[in-house]
Structure 1
Amino acid sequence: MLYVEANRSLKQGWTCDPGPEHSGATQIDAGQGQVVMTNNKSEAFFLSGSTWTGLGSVPMKHVSVGPTGIWGVDSSDEVYKYGGGDFLLSQGQKLHQVDAGGQDQILGVTSSSTVHCLSSAAASGFKQGDSLSWTTSSRALMYISCSSHGCWGVNSGKEIYFTKTDSCQMKGWTRVQGVARMVEVGTDGTVFMVDGNGNFYQRTGISADVPHGTGWFKIPLSNNIKHASYDLGNLWLVINDGVIMKCTQ
C-alpha cells in the first residue's frame, strides 16, 4: 500500500497549461534555470524563451541539465556532454539514462541496472573522446535523479530508494515506501513520483532530519504522466500523447 499524506504542508493546487508547443515529446529535464527535452525522433531541444531550439546534431534518447552542464545518451547507450555547439562523445562507460542534477557528480544507470557516478572534478576538463572514470555503486537501479540534497532511484521492481551523496561517496541507500515508474528531484530538493498508472505524487515531510521524507501526496491531474521534471517553481510534464505541460502553484 502507498502511504498518502493529507495535504497539510503543501500549497493547494497546481495550475497546468500547455507548455511551449512541441509534439511528440518523450522526456524533459529542468535544472539551473534551463529546460531540455527529447522527442520521438531522438531529437534534442533547449528551451529559449517560449521556443524549442535544436540542441546539437547527434540523435539523443535522453538528455539532462544541471550544475555539470548538459549530458545525454544515444540509442546505443553512448554518453555525451554538450559543448561548443554539439554533443561530444565520451569513452569509458555506456549508460541507459544519465542525470546531471547533482552538485558534485553526474550519475547514470545502465540497461542492466548498474549505477555509476562521475565526479564533477573528473568531468570538468572533458574533451571529445576522453575516457572518463566512473565509479560503480552496489545498488541496482533502472532510473535515477539527483540534486545537492541527495539521489532518488527506482529499481526493476519499481521499489524506491534514496541516498545522500558527496562527490560519488554514497552514504547508504534507504528504501522509501511506495511503488514508482520514475522519481524526480528538483534543484531545491522537492521530489515527485510517477507510478505505473501515470498517477502523480509529491513527497512530503522532507527535512534535514528526515531527508527522504515521510509520505506521498497525490496531485490530482486529468492526464496520465509520462515524464516529469521540476526547477525554480515550475513543474514540467510530458503527458501520454507527447504534449508538454507547464504547471505552477
Structure 2
Amino acid sequence: MKSFAVFLLVLRYLSVSHGCTCTEGPQQFPAVQIDAGQGNVVMTDSNNHAYFLLGSQWYKMGSLNLKHVSVGPAGIWGVDLNNRVYKYVAGSFVFANGKSLQQVDAGGDGQVVGVTNTFTIHCLKSTIASAYRKQSPLSWTTLPGLLMYFSCSTNYGCWGVNSAQNIFFTEVTPSTCDISGWTHVEGAAVKVEIETDGSVFVVTKDGDVFQREGIDSSTPQGTSWTHLPMPSRISHVSYDHGNLWVVTDYGTILKCVC
C-alpha cells in the first residue's frame, strides 16, 4: 500500500508531453477497464464489479459481475464472465438474450457493436439498441471479418483490431448495420477506442498509447499516429470531452487533459 500511495503522489504532479497533462483520477483500485461517453464514465475493477462516476466518487452499479462495460448514445451495456450481454435500465442490468460477446461498445450513433471470443463481429441496430428496456431475445447482425476489439463513434466511423494486432477502419450505418468495407490502417495495437468527436486512441501490446492524427470528414481514417508518453504501461484508455481516461497496468486511473 505504501508503494501505491507513493505512485499516486507522483501522479498528482505528472505532466506528459504532446499536449497531455495527467493527474491522479478518482480511484477504484485496482481498475481493469474504463469507458467514457457523453459526459459519463464507467469502469470495471479486478473483482468484476461495474461502477459509474458521479463527481469524484465511483458508485457500484448493482451486484452483477461484469468484465467489460461501455457507455454511449445507446445507454450503458456490459458483458459478464460468461459473455452474456446486458443493458443498464432503470438502475439494474437487464439480460439481452441473443448473442454472447466478450467485448461490447455503445459509443456509436445509437447502434451497439461487439465481438465474440472467436473474434466474430456483431452489430445491434440503433432502433433496437436504444429502445431495449426488458429481457427479450435480440437480433444481431453479423459483420464480415474477424476482430478481437471493436469501437464506434457517432462521427467518423468505427475502428477495430484483430488477433494479429492489425488495425482497421470502417463506417457503419446505425439503422441497418451495413458497413462500408474494411480499410487497413498502418500500425499495430491490441485495443482501439474512438470517441464521440472522432478522436482515436490505441494501446499497444507493450502498453504504449498512440493518438490518430488528421481525422476529418474527408479523411475519417486519419493520416498518422502520435505517441503519447505515459508514466507506466497502460492497459486501457477512453476519451470524452477533452479528457483521456487511462488505466495503468498497476490498476490506477489517470485523468489526462489533451
Report TM bin, short chain.
Answer: over 0.9
Structure 1 equivalent of residue 121 of structure 2:
115
- Superposition deviation, residue 12 in structure 1: 3.9
In the alignment, does 2:189 pair up with 1:180?
A: yes
Structure 1's consecutive aligned runs of 4 or more residues displaced over 4 angstroms after TM superposition are none
Deviations 1:179-223 (A, max 9, x none): 101111111000111111001111011122211011101111121
Q: Which has the higher contact order (CA 8 A, sep 6+)?
A: 1
Structure 1 equivalent of residue 204 of structure 2:
195
Please report the RMSD computed on the Cα atoms of aligned residues, expressed in angstroms. Answer: 1.1
Counterparts in 2 of 1:118-137, with a 5 A limit? Answer: 118-137=124-143
Amino acid at match of 1:63: V
Structure 2 equivalent of residue 8 of structure 1:
none
Amino acid at match of 1:58: L
Amino acid at match of 1:150: G
The whole-number CA distance in structure 1 between the counterparts of 2:208 and 2:55 is 29
Aligned counterpart for 2:53 among listed residues 47, 55, 68: 47
Identify, as 1 or 2, the structure richer in helix.
2
TM-score of the aligned structures, taking structure 1 as reference length: 0.94
In the alignment, does 2:249 pair up with 1:224?
A: no
SS in 2 for 1:121: helix
In the alignment, does 2:88 pair up with 1:79?
A: no
Structure 2 equivalent of residue 215 of structure 1:
224
Amino acid at match of 2:192: V
- Superposition deviation, residue 35 in structure 1: 0.1
Structure 2 equivalent of residue 162 of structure 1:
169
In the alignment, does 2:258 pair up with 1:246?
A: no
SS in 1 for 2:128: helix
- Superposition deviation, residue 129 in structure 1: 2.3
In the alignment, does 2:153 pair up with 1:152?
A: no
Unpaired segments of 5 or more residues in structure 1? 1-10
- Superposition deviation, residue 235 in structure 1: 0.4
How many residues align? The count is 239
SS in 2 for 1:71: strand
The whole-number CA distance in structure 2 between the counterparts of 1:112 and 1:81 is 22
SS in 1 for 2:187: strand
Deviations 1:75-95 (A, max 9, x none): 000000001211000111110
Structure 2 equivalent of residue 6 of structure 1:
none
Structure 2 equivalent of residue 70 of structure 1:
76
Unpaired segments of 5 or more residues in structure 2? 1-16
Structure 2 equivalent of residue 140 of structure 1:
146
- Superposition deviation, residue 123 in structure 1: 2.3
The whole-number CA distance in structure 2 between the counterparts of 1:244 and 1:124 is 29
The whole-number CA distance in structure 1 between the counterparts of 2:135 and 2:110 is 22
The whole-number CA distance in structure 1 between the counterparts of 2:136 and 2:94 is 9
SS in 2 for 1:178: coil
The whole-number CA distance in structure 2 between the counterparts of 1:12 and 1:192 is 14
In the alignment, does 2:180 pair up with 1:171?
A: yes
TM-score of the aligned structures, taking structure 2 as reference length: 0.90
- Superposition deviation, residue 57 in structure 1: 1.9
Aligned counterpart for 1:21 among listed residues 8, 19, 27: 27
Structure 1 vs Structure 2: percent identity of aligned residues?
Answer: 51
The whole-number CA distance in structure 1 between the counterparts of 2:187 and 2:141 is 28
Q: Is the 8 A contact 2:110 2:130 kept in 1?
A: no
Structure 1 equivalent of residue 11 of structure 2:
none
Deviations 1:13-66 (A, max 9, x none): 211001002111000000010000000000000000000001122110000000
